[in-house]
Structure 1
Amino acid sequence: MLKVKLVRSKIGCNPKQRATLVALGLRKIRQERSFEDNSVVRGMIRKVEHLVEVTES
């Protein structure tokens, strides 16, 4: 399982990065979501890695 937490604002990001955050379900700063560890989620996290904090549990 991966815990993904939005730690930086999406203001100033390009539209694809904003869409990735919406697809991950991260709308507000400090909001967390848990995901299964797979390549699709890893790729999405990679696109917005400068905005999120990831912990493995």
Structure 2
Amino acid sequence: MLNNAFGAGAVLALAAAAVLLFLVTRPRLYGWDRASYPYWAGLHDNEIVALHAG
């Protein structure tokens, strides 16, 4: 009985860690703020260079 409780706790801890990892590392795919992938994908090469130079 005690082993089942430890196993369930381990599974819950692993699931919580996986969800936290997903939330931290997922790309921002919404909006057009300057930190999102769609924003940078929509720029031309010269616009990217100008943003980094400024």
Report the TM range for the smaller structure's normalisation: under 0.3
Select the structure with the greater relative contact order (CA < 8 A; seq sep ≥ 6): 1
> Structure 1-normalised TM-score?
0.25
Larger radius of gyration: 2
TM-score normalised by length of structure 2: 0.25
- Return the structure number with greater helix share: 2
Greater share of strand: 1
